Amino acid sequence: MFSHLMVGTNDIERSKRFYDAVLGVLGVGEPMRNQNKTGQTRLFYRHDGGTFCVSEPINGEPASAANGGTIGFKCASLEQVRKFHDTAVAHGGKSIEDPPGPRQGPAGALNLAYVRDPDGNKLCALHRP
């Protein structure tokens, strides 16, 4: 359904360090770096047919996190959920909500962890057993 997801950042190099580490847990390699014609730098992380992008805001205003928005990343195991979480926290992210682990959702059991990236974007690591 989606071609890509993009979040804004106020510090592209800090975001690159954070997302290189966190997305590396999922097997994602180095991003493609692009500078658009008006000078904003963007990072494109490609993996398994999806693209996750980090960009300096094109309108020149400060980046801000979407209130109520969450970006979920599919994990292969509870251990990968925990590693995603711990790597995010070790690289400037903030743990939020309940500790990483099993939850009961409307569609059954899930393993979840929630963090905020250094710019405040909410990320979820999710594994369906």
Helices marked H in 1-129: 12-24, 78-90
Confidence at residue 2, expressed as pLDDT on a 0 to 100 scale: 82
* pLDDT (tens digit per residue) in 109-118: 999 999 999 9
Q: Which residues pair with 32 in a beta bridge?
A: 44
Phi, psi of 121 (to 5 degrees): -70, 135
Q: 5-127 domain in CATH 3.40.30.10?
A: no
d(CA 27, CA 11): 24
| Residue 92 confidence (pLDDT) | 98
Between CA 65 and CA 111, with CA 45 as vertex, the angle to 5 degrees is 65
pLDDT tops 90 at residue 105: no
Q: How confident is the model at residue 102 (pLDDT cuts 50, 70, 90)?
A: very high
Instruction: Read off the pLDDT band of 119 (50, 70, 90).
Output: very high
For 28-86, what is each residue's pLDDT tens digit? 999 999 999 999 999 999 999 999 999 999 998 999 998 889 999 999 999 999 999 99
Q: Which helix (H) or strand (E) is 114 found in, with range?
A: strand 108-116
| Nearest CA-CA partner of 78 in 113, 28, 27 | 113
